[in-house]
Amino acid sequence: MRWIRFAVLVLAASILQASLMDVLRVRRDVKPDLLLVLLVFFGSRCTPTDGVITSFVLGFVADLINPIGGVMGPRIISFGLFGTLLSDVQNVFSLRRPLYQSVAIFLLGVLTAVLGYLLASLRTEGSQTRLLTLFLWQPLYSGILGPLFSLPVGWWMRMNRKNRSLYGHGSRFR
Q: pLDDT class for 64, splitting at 50, 70, 90?
A: very high
Q: What is the pLDDT of residues 110-167, one digit of tens each?
A: 999 889 888 888 877 655 567 777 788 888 888 998 888 888 888 888 876 554 444 5
CA distance 44 to 149: 14
Residue 54, φ and ψ in degrees, nearest 5: -65, -35
Per-residue confidence (pLDDT) for residue 126, from 0 to 100: 56
Question: 3-state DSSP call for residue 28?
Answer: coil
- Extents of the domains making up the chain: 3-22+29-157
38: Cβ contacts below 8 Å, ≥ 6 apart: 9, 10, 13, 54, 58, 153
171 vs 73 pLDDT, higher one: 73
**Residue 153 contacts residue 9 (beta carbons within 8 Å):** yes
